[in-house]
């Protein structure tokens, strides 16, 4: 299997393995933990995921910089970037961990309504989840660096193994009467060991005497120049991806959220698999944009877009055709009927988002992170404003329709990309190892 195909396969596997394992384990965990403790576990895993994403929001900057420096054979700059990235993520991870720890008692009271033993379980589980945010932030440096080297399998195999084995052992623990605190403690131990293994392997690969965090002036400046915007994207993406369900829950209640959320779960893989499968395009183009001919890049990007378009078209058509019967078999006719009015606009919204994947990664690889960030913010803000206006007028369907604005706005990414690729001139980076962020189109 060629390197791009292998990386694409590992990207999809990384995206799908953990959610599938959670779905398979859910009935057993729910039966042995009970609804309340299972709910606490869901909240904790969501907190770790959200905190980890925000704390590691500079990861795209690391991929772009390391891929470029590695393509030039600049090992010193590559190592400086990795150590600087460790310093940045360690700092961000500590900030979010400490902030989360301070909020844990308040969150626990809201989640459990101060219910004796459940409150205690939630309190300690969320404390463990808070520390796991720091572990995830450190682990992300290893993952983003391996991706910059276009070696997705190196990091993905360890990451998937740790997460899946955590769920398997968690099922065993609950069968013997252990609760959510034990499950979270197990997750902390296994994820910490997995991160340690990744650090050791990365150190060997870089041939470094030390990977202790350090702030190399040149690398840190470059990482912040790109990473400030990629971090802003990470934060806004977390907000925009959850805002619709929060708005519905507050306005129309839990029943409305249920049918809507099930449609989102069904349609989300259209974008998720496209983004995971084509992620290799980001480090691939980053490594070649300084040394390849413009025509080569145009051909690679066009090929990726054709694949992107075919996947989104086929998967969206399949869900539009089979979605209603699937929902009927999955959750019953009542919920399927309630979902019928929102399924189509939700599918189309994820299809539009899925179509922007090639443009998104290409612009990031070429250094145009600002235009990507601003279009993302404009699209997300327009979506929220339209949701607020349509909700009292058309209900749940209005919220689903408003999602289309986000996808349509992000498709505008192709305008600057087309201008860059058809331009006779192209930005070139100096061969010294300095790394200025490219001017945005």
Residue that finishes a domain, picked among 181, 209, 237: 209
Compute the average pLDDT of residues 72-86: 88
Residue that finishes a domain, picked among 155, 180, 209: 209
Same domain, 81 and 20: yes
**434 confidence band (pLDDT: 50, 70, 90):** very low
Q: What is the pLDDT of residue 426?
A: 45
In a domain, 441, yes or no: no
CB 343 within 8 A of CB 266: yes
Compute the average pLDDT of residues 283-308: 82
In a domain, 440, yes or no: no
Same domain, 99 and 175: yes
In a domain, 346, yes or no: yes
Q: What is the pLDDT of residue 330?
A: 64
In 3D space, the residue among 191, 162, 342, 375 whose CA is nearest the CA of residue 267 turns out to be: 342
In a domain, 433, yes or no: no
pLDDT tens digits along 360-387? 999 998 888 899 999 999 998 998 888 8
| C-beta neighbour count of 142 within 10 angstroms | 28
In 3D space, the residue among 225, 290, 364 whose CA is nearest the CA of residue 74 turns out to be: 290
Domain that holds residue 277: 227-424
Same domain, 196 and 317: no
CA distances (Å), origin 252, targets 399, 405, 413: 11, 22, 34
Q: How many residues make up the chain in this entry?
A: 441
Q: Tell me the HSE value of 35 on the side-chain side, using a 13 A CA sphere.
A: 0
Least confident of 260-264, 269-273, 404-408: 260-264
In a domain, 30, yes or no: yes
Domain count, the chain: 2
In a domain, 200, yes or no: yes
**290 confidence band (pLDDT: 50, 70, 90):** low
Same domain, 22 and 140: yes
CB 170 within 8 A of CB 186: yes
Most confident of 108-112, 148-152, 259-263: 148-152
CB 187 within 8 A of CB 170: yes
Compute the average pLDDT of residues 285-292: 76
CA distance 342 to 260: 7
pLDDT tens digits along 102-122? 988 888 887 676 556 788 888
CB 81 within 8 A of CB 286: no
Same domain, 239 and 338: yes
pLDDT tens digits along 187-240? 999 999 999 999 999 898 888 888 888 888 888 888 888 888 888 888 888 777
CA distance 143 to 150: 10
Residue that finishes a domain, picked among 153, 175, 209: 209
CA distance 104 to 51: 13
Q: What is the pLDDT of residue 441?
A: 31
Same domain, 248 and 345: yes
Residue 305 C-alpha from the chain's centroid: 21
Burial of 14 (0-12, 13-18, 19+ CB in 10 A): buried
With left for phi above 0 and alpha for psi between -120 and 50, is residue 436 left, alpha or beta?
Answer: beta
Same domain, 92 and 180: yes
**292 confidence band (pLDDT: 50, 70, 90):** low
Compute the average pLDDT of residues 21-31: 78
Same domain, 282 and 396: yes
With left for phi above 0 and alpha for psi between -120 and 50, is residue 216 left, alpha or beta?
Answer: beta
In 3D space, the residue among 434, 235, 222, 244 whose CA is nearest the CA of residue 349 turns out to be: 244
Same domain, 402 and 266: yes
Q: Is the pLDDT of residue 253 over 70?
A: no
Same domain, 186 and 43: yes
Least confident of 82-91, 114-123, 373-382, 408-417: 114-123
Same domain, 341 and 404: yes
Same domain, 281 and 135: no
Q: Is the pLDDT of residue 35 over 80?
A: no
In a domain, 439, yes or no: no
In a domain, 215, yes or no: no
* Token pair listed for 149: 């080297």
């Amino acid at each position: 299997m060629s390197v791009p195909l292998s990386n694409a396969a590992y990207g999809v596997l990384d995206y799908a393995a953990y959610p599938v394992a959670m779905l398979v384990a859910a009935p057993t965990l729910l039966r042995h933990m009970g609804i309340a403790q299972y709910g606490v576990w869901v909240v904790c895993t969501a907190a770790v995921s959200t905190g980890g994403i925000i704390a590691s929001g500079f990861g795209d900057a690391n991929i772009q910089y390391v891929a470029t420096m590695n393509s030039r054979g600049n090992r010193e700059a590559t190592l400086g970037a990795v150590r600087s990235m460790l310093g940045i993520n360690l700092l961000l991870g500590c900030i979010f961990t400490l902030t989360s720890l301070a909020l844990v008692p308040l969150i626990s009271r809201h989640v459990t309504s101060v219910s004796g033993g459940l409150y205690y379980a939630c309190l300690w589980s969320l404390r463990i989840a808070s520390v796991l945010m720091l572990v995830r932030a450190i682990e992300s440096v290893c993952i983003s660096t391996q991706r910059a080297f276009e070696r997705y399998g190196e990091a993905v195999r360890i990451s998937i193994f740790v997460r899946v084995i955590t769920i398997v052992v968690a099922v065993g623990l609950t069968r013997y009467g252990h609760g959510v605190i034990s499950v979270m403690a197990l997750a902390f131990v296994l994820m910490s060991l997995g991160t340690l293994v990744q650090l050791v392997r990365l150190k060997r690969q870089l041939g470094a005497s030390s990977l202790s965090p350090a702030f190399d002036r040149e690398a840190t400046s470059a990482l912040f120049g790109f990473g400030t915007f990629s971090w802003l994207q990470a934060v806004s993406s977390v907000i925009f991806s959850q805002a619709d369900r929060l708005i519905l829950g507050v306005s129309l209640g839990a029943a409305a959220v249920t049918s809507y959320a099930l449609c989102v779960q069904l349609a989300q893989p259209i974008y998720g698999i496209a983004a995971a499968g084509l992620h290799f395009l980001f480090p691939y183009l980053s490594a070649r944009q300084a040394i390849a001919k413009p025509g080569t890049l145009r051909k690679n990007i066009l090929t990726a877009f054709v694949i992107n378009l075919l996947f989104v078209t086929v998967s969206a058509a399949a869900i539009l055709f089979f979605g209603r019967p699937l929902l009927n078999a999955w959750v019953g006719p009542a919920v399927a009927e309630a979902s019928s009015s929102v399924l189509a606009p939700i599918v189309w919204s994820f299809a539009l988002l899925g179509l922007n994947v090639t443009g998104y990664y290409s612009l990031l690889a070429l250094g145009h992170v600002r235009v990507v960030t601003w279009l993302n913010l404009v699209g997300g803000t327009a979506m929220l404003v339209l949701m607020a206006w349509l909700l009292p007028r058309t209900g749940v369907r209005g919220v689903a329709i408003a999602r289309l604005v986000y996808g349509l706005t992000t498709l505008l990414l192709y305008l600057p990309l087309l201008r860059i690729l058809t331009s006779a001139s192209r930005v070139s980076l100096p061969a010294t190892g300095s790394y200025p962020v490219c001017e945005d189109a």
